[in-house]
Chains A and B, each alone.
Chain A
């Protein structure tokens, strides 16, 4: 184990990659902006201080890579609506969502009022909790990208096979790719005005885990349609610097494409079995993203044959249309890379991990949490 991991943390290899990046960067006469769109990359880049060792003209900005951060406030409001209007409800959630404040309250606050809200560590626990509590309505708050959808899909299939009647899914899952295109279009405006640059995002550091499911083949359009290079990248320092070096090489050679730096894990086609499960259980519909609004074909919805498990239907949840941000929080701009966390007026003043005002500070993979934890220097 140690030899394998140590290669991707090797200081000398990092230094070699950095040297290559520095000499390539001299050939680029302007500032270039690379965006990472995966929360784990956001954390790792901050943790290893990678922004600080790159050439002056290469900037890394964080995109909407954290599922908790892109989840609109109304998702929390819907969960609280169920708790307020129905008896015998148990809400199951992953830990990161627990402290996110909706338009009025958070799950954490509701729990302190005596509501039954439990934190899960694995989707496996959903079925066993439902079976152990036959008299309760078990509602799972389902968020995440294509990475988590297959395991949720498996649970839903299994619930149908076992004919479990007291389990419901509040679906907040998103499909990432169409949003990436919206982000490219959005960024055309703000990159030029905010960063005083004359182009859009110059390259993408593509997610490692998500790409494991969807595969390298899903990304070719980025270069073909928008002439933007991208690299599927692993999470260790050597991975990230190799990813950046490959992006710079493609810029210098004016030959944008998609490269797979993380080929030890990510294949060309992705995980076919996982993709099959997604197709089998979910339809694709319009989805609301914090920071980017409604985007067509980005939300996962349960197929008709599984709609008995749909919490929205079971609990007749009305439409919520709430303001996206509270207290002057600028999470919506942070998560599309329009501003850095440090530019938000609340950052490190009234907003910190103990008392977060917005989702990007709550989530352990949010850009604000990463900057707060590692980059307040």
Chain B
């Protein structure tokens, strides 16, 4: 048994064998072990956050991560964006017939590693196997449940002029890592994806009751990058504009020059381990110093502010003292990056 065969998704004997041998090996816990149709959860929280995301990244394994790590970090980060502590994960696998078991195990093992480290439990799931050509080796979907912290109220409705925009670290690493790992440019260059769960970083902020009332909005700049998140905000809040200071935007030298070389806009490239946070001005120093005590936030910077001019637009103040529009990325420049 070294390849995934169609019967593994049939619901019969082979499916049970697959679950016993592989799923329970990596994820056995008190919620999953009964293998009921639904997980029965014990949660004490006034408000729950509930999120789902599908992952189709190609290649499955890339510098800095793989589809397993990505699928669990992505959903954890989505829960954090609404101020929740991530608790439970549902995991759905769609596997192409003939995929090496070893590949599937590597992915399951990644998911296990992140979930243990981040203290979230995979409590329910599903496995389907499809014929050759019906999917590309494996697609992973994760749904997550988290408990929303009291005292946090995150919504773009709360954003006001003079609020500041913070990013937790260097931009454009995930998308570029994927692009380069595909070898499409005829040269190899090792850029590590920033793929990471930001739970412990964000909890440092969530735990501080002095800060929480002043946090207005959080979002992870994944597909479409920083440019997409900021443009989404001003498209919901047409009464506001956003100014970004190019010199403040953290970006590694390698990423900067590779983007130049490939003529791609780093602001439009996906991140998988960064947050954009909008807060009132008075707490910015404390937030920044809190972020900087954590390895995943050491490069955090204030990159811009909310203004009442240039309504509905994101303006980039360039290094050269000029300004330009930072537009919403139009087409998906890089398909299947997550």
List A residues at the B interface (Cβ < 8 Å): 1-2, 5, 9, 11, 14-15, 46-53, 237, 353-354, 373-377
Contact = CB atoms under 8 A, between A and B. Distances in A.
Given A1-B257, A2-B253, A376-B313, A49 B330 contact: no
Given A1-B257, A5-B257, A353-B330, A377 B324 contact: yes
A47 B268 CA distance: 14
A237 B260 CA distance: 13
Given A51-B322, A376-B313, A377-B323, 9 more contacts: A2-B256, A15-B321, A49-B318, A49-B320, A354-B330, A374-B325, A375-B325, A376-B325, A377-B324
B120 to A, nearest CB: 39
Contacts of A354: 330
A237 B320 contact: yes
Contacts of B254: 2
Given A1-B257, A2-B253, A353-B330, A46 B324 contact: yes
Given A2-B253, A47-B324, A354-B330, A377 B315 contact: yes
A86 to B, nearest CB: 31
A305 B253 CA distance: 51
Rank and list the top 8 A-B pairs by shortest CB-CB distance, nearest first. A49-B322, A374-B324, A52-B322, A53-B322, A49-B324, A11-B319, A2-B257, A14-B320
B293 interface: no
A313 to B, nearest CB: 36
A52 to B, nearest CB: 4
Interface residues of B, number: 20
Among A5, A11, A49, A50, max chain B CB count under 10 A is at A49
A2 B259 CA distance: 12
B116 interface: no
A142 B147 CA distance: 59
Contacts, number: 52
Contacts of A51: 322
B327 interface: yes
Interface in B295-319: 310, 313, 315, 318-319
B260 A5 contact: yes
B320 A53 contact: yes
Interface string B25-54: 000000000000000000000000000000
B253 A373 contact: no
A2 B254 CA distance: 8
A377 B313 CA distance: 8
A51 B323 CA distance: 10
B113 to A, nearest CB: 34
A46 B257 CA distance: 20
Interface string B225-261: 0000000000000000000000100000110110011
A212 B269 CA distance: 32
A24 to B, nearest CB: 18
